Structure 1
Amino acid sequence: MENFKNKFQEYLLLEKNYSLHTVSAYLNDIGFFESFLANAFDDANLISVNYNQIRAWIVSLSDDGLSNSSINRKIASLKSFYKFLLKTKQIDSSPLLKHKALKAPKKLQIPFSEKELDLVLNQINYTDDFDGIRDKLIVDLFYTTGIRRDELINLKIQNVDLSNSTLKVLGKRNKERIIPILPIVVDQIKRYLFERTQLQSITDAAYFFLLLKGVKLNNSFVYRLINYYFSNVSEKVKKSPHILRHTFATHLLNNGADINSVKELLGHSSLASTQVYTHSSLAELKKVYSSAHPRSQK
């Protein structure tokens, strides 16, 4: 079975082009399910499992207090695993063939306001050293490009083109896209690059963003950084890089950007993914409509 899981890991990384973070989550879900089977059923294993046994795991997860959304994510990992086993002819049919996802409420992501972004970018006193200059650039790059956290972490220095004011990022499924950068951000990049040359040692020289000790950033560092700076200006529950990406899209749409252009900037493969961000812009539109239409004054 370990051999199957190793091959599944290779499949996710090499064929599906999933990130290391996603692959780790998938394997953890499968490991948890395998442990459940060993404890709950004497003769069950990942290959011979039936849907009733999977259903028992779902009930167990629910009893443990997991939300339907979290359970659906874990089942998605199993679905992918059994799809792989089916593809490699290890099984004849998937035990999840007729499974329907649990109903889960859609969570409306609340973007930061333009005022909150102005406070973070213009009112906070960042330290005038490598760390402070880098931190402010990270915040501004998230907000002005809509870049994903993994894309920012893995941004290569060779893909930052200051002469054309663009970034080339490698998105999901190894899909490349070019993102324009604003002049004010170009100036920040130049300042950051100078400070970068002053580091005592650099291990991960190919990567654009580095920690002070010269190694590339990691997921938790970037999340903590965004959470820290926005905690100073915002009472919103969730303060993350993804909310900044959401804010980028929402503010563009609020200010009249074409949704297809926003789709390309975000690197979405379908318009349906981008339409998630129209909920917030619709709220803004309603506000303008209510204040401007003559009938609203009656």
Structure 2
Amino acid sequence: MKDNSLSYYVQNYFLSYLISQRGYGNNTVASYRDTFKLLFMFLESDGKKLSKLKLTDISQTCVLQFLEWAETERHNSVSTRNLRLTVLKSFFGYVLSTSPEFSGQCTDIINIPAKRVEKKPPLYLTESETKLLLNAPDRNSREGIRHMAILTLLYDSACRVQELINLNVADVTIGRCCKVFVKGKGSKYREIPIFGETGKILERYINAYGLKPGEVLFTNRSGGRLTRAGVSYIMNKYKKILQERYANRFNSNLSLSPHLMRHSKATHLVNENVNIYNVRDFLGHTSVITTQVYLTSNPEVTRKAIEKASSKTVSESNDYYSLQEKEDLLAFLETLI
């Protein structure tokens, strides 16, 4: 007889589907796990015992109540609320594929609409602010060289913080064509070109610390890999320094983070008229729809992008984009209205 307990389906969803079939990385699995931990917390607060819960106990009404609780009691933003819903939709999509007898319940939950959230252009550092930040560390000290290498590589490669701290020395190529080889979301690898000056800074850092190819590129004081918290600590240190030195030239209201560096690099590339598809590949996005948000940071860039997109509709350039890219571009244009 088939086990219809909630725990049975949740365990199989994580082990058989997310990890084995989809190959999701640790961070993605952790974010999905957090949604279920929160759901279980909600159910327990409602007097339910997890060990006795059946799959059928998680109805559309239950999910809607959970989402409302997450917003009001846990103070989740609308974006976070929608993320929780996306995880649950994914789970019930898996259940539907393995146990069609629950199709009515699964379809009801999958059809729950996401809340509309106001789309805002990503915040970013101006080029002058970025220059102030990258020049803030003391390049004459060993620690300063290390911090400069971390900050410069974060910006120039626009890599995610997890991609940065996963790097080994062997992942960096220094020479005529400087580049880094990173493992991104979904365990996908990509090669990122970096500026020659960034390569020189990394070379100086590697030599200063006597690092070998098989070693971790950035470590903490205990010798382990640098952590997310460690990167945040370094960034906050220089934010305070810049606020003191350049109160009128640095926006102290910005929350300085690795992702802000990524947003800044992407926005600067778009502002320099780099093709949006090249930016997509540089950032490691699977779709240009994710990347196009950077166009909205600068209205003039958006106008030029629309003109360029329109010019590509003539017959001479009909084969310029693949079918998928054409569909993505149409979806992108819809978001501009």
Question: Which range, TM-score by smaller chain?
Answer: 0.7 to 0.9
Q: Which moved more, 1:100-109 or 1:146-155?
A: 100-109
- Could you say if the C-alpha distance between residues 35 and 227 of structure 1 is closer, same or farther in structure 2, counting changes exceeding 3 Å? same
Helix, strand or coil for the counterpart of 2:110?
Answer: coil
Deviations 1:123-155 (A, max 9, x none): 4435611x3222111111111111111111112
**Counterpart in the other structure of 1:7:** 12
Once residues 111 and 88 of structure 1 are traced to their aligned partners in structure 2, the CA distance between those partners, rounded to angstroms, is 44
Asked if 1 retains the 8 angstrom alpha-carbon contact of 2:220 and 2:227, the reply is: no
- Distance of 1:232 and 1:2 partners within structure 2: 50
The equivalent residue for 2:323 is: none
Could you tell me which residue of structure 2 aligns to residue 189 of structure 1? 202
* Length-normalised TM-score, structure 2: 0.75
Q: Counterpart of 1:160?
A: 172
Deviates more, 1:258-267 or 1:7-16: 7-16
Change (3 A) 1:18 1:221: farther
| Larger displacement relative to structure 2 (163-172 or 270-279) | 163-172
1:84-163 mapped onto 2 (5 Å cutoff)? 84-89=94-99, 92-93=102-103, 94=106, 95-125=108-138, 128-129=141-142, 131-163=143-175
* Structure 1, unpaired ranges of 5+: 287-298
Over 3 Å counting, the alpha-carbon distance change for 1:225 and 1:26 in structure 2 is same
Aligned-partner Cα distance in 1 for 2:30–2:22: 14
Q: Distance in 2 between matches of 1:62 and 1:219?
A: 26
Q: Which one of 31, 52, 58 corresponds to residue 61 of structure 2?
A: 52
Q: Percent identity?
A: 27
Alignment of 1:191-210 (within 5 A): 191-197=204-210, 206-210=215-219
User: Following TM superposition, by how much is the alpha carbon of 1:206 offset from its aligned partner in structure 2, in angstroms?
Assistant: 4.1
Which whole-Å CA distance do the structure 1 matches of 2:210 and 2:7 have between them? 45
3-state SS in 2 of match to 1:78: helix
Equivalent residue in structure 1 for 2:40, among 34, 37, 54: 34
**Secondary structure class of the residue paired with 2:111:** coil
Larger CA deviation: 53-62 vs 263-272: 53-62
The equivalences for 1:172-251 within 5 A come to 172-197=185-210, 206-233=215-242, 234-251=251-268
Q: Does 2:295 match 1:278?
A: yes
CA distance in 2 between counterparts of 1:46 and 1:63 reads 26
Q: Secondary structure at the match of 1:276?
A: helix
Hey, what's the Cα distance between the residues in 2 that align with 1:206 and 1:152? 14
Tell whether the 8 Å contact from 1:149 to 1:219 is kept in structure 2 after alignment: yes
Question: Aligned to 2:263, what secondary structure does the other structure show?
Answer: helix
Question: RMSD of the alignment, in Å?
Answer: 2.7
Q: Partners of 1:258 and 1:148 in 2: how far apart?
A: 21
- Asked if the contact 2:273–2:301 (Cα under 8 Å) also holds between the matched residues in 1, the reply is no
| 1:252 paired residue number | 269
- Per the alignment, residue 311 of structure 2 pairs with none
Q: TM-score, normalised by structure 1?
A: 0.83
1:217 is displaced (CA, Å) by: 1.4
| 2-structure distance, mates of 1:137, 1:238 | 21
| Structure 1 residues 125 and 134: CA distance shift in structure 2, 3 A | closer
* Alpha-carbon distance in 2 for matches of 1:187, 1:150: 23
Preserved contact between residue 37 and residue 45 of structure 1 (Cα < 8 Å): no
Q: Which moved more, 1:254-263 or 1:226-235?
A: 226-235
1:22 corresponding residue in structure 2: 28
SS in structure 2 opposite 1:238?
Answer: coil
Structure 2 counterpart of 1:292: none
In structure 2, the CA distance between the partners of 1:22 and 1:91, relative to structure 1 (3 Å rule), is farther
Structure 2: which amino acid aligns with 1:188? I
Shift of 1:42: 4.9
